[in-house]
């Protein structure tokens, strides 16, 4: 691995459990937008394992170089270079996506941007479209572990938005419906939404 590629150990740890669920959730999807591709590790792995669909990366422009570094080392014919996407600044991409994936974004974003993400995904997905959302969340205001509670307050102290509650997301996501909640390693969840 070259030293200039960004690396997330969490991505390495969670990519296989996430993929197992995406294979089913995205089985009928053709064009998936990844919101917040981050290091690019998820994108290169999922695209190579889901050859039936086009995987479109996106993130804030300062992360594009890292995503492209992973893509050049692990190319897939169905993997698209990153497009700029910053909620509150960017317009929704002018392409038709029938699937959306995001990992570990809602608790980093400010509350109003997390809300915008839910509203825009819901508005732009076609009927039958699927949104898979991975990360730590609270349920009915409850943290699933002390480590999650501690991390939430750490995020707030660093100026991030902190954990979002699933009930909050459900309100913002209408008319999408939360169809399943999967428990994942490290006290995370994968939420599957459908329009």
Which pair of structure tokens corresponds to residue 6? 């960004």
* Maximum separation of any 2 CA atoms in the chain, in Å: 44
Q: Which H/E stretch holds residue 55?
A: strand 54-59
CATH 3.40.50.720 fits 9-194, yes or no: no
- Reading the chain (195 residues) residue by residue, the pLDDT tens digits are 444 799 999 999 999 999 999 999 999 999 999 999 999 999 999 999 999 999 999 999 999 999 999 999 999 999 999 999 999 999 999 999 999 999 999 999 999 999 999 999 999 999 999 999 999 999 999 999 999 999 999 999 999 999 999 999 999 999 999 999 999 999 999 999 999
Q: Where are the domains of the chain?
A: 9-194
Opening angle at CA 70, ends 64 and 76, nearest 5 = 105
Q: What pLDDT is recorded for position 84? A: 97
**β-bridge partners, 130:** 99, 194
Q: What pLDDT is recorded for position 4? A: 77
Q: What pLDDT is recorded for position 1? A: 46
């Amino acid at each position: 691995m070259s030293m200039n590629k960004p690396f997330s150990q969490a991505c390495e740890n969670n990519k296989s459990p996430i993929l197992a669920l995406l294979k089913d959730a995205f089985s009928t999807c053709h064009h998936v937008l990844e919101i917040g591709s981050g290091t690019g590790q998820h994108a290169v792995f999922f695209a190579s394992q889901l050859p039936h669909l086009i995987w479109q990366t996106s993130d804030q422009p300062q992360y594009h170089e890292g995503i492209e570094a992973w893509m050049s080392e692990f190319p897939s014919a169905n993997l698209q270079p990153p497009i700029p996407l910053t909620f509150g600044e960017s317009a929704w991409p002018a392409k038709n996506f029938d699937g959306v994936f995001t990992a570990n974004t809602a608790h980093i974003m400010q509350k109003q941007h997390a809300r915008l993400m839910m509203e825009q995904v819901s508005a732009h997905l076609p009927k039958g479209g699927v949104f898979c959302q991975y990360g730590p969340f609270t349920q009915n205001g409850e943290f699933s572990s002390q480590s999650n509670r501690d991390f939430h307050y750490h995020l707030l102290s660093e100026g991030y938005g902190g954990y979002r509650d699933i009930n909050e997301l459900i309100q913002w996501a209408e008319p999408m419906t939360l169809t399943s909640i999967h428990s994942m390693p490290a006290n995370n969840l994968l939420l599957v939404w459908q329009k």
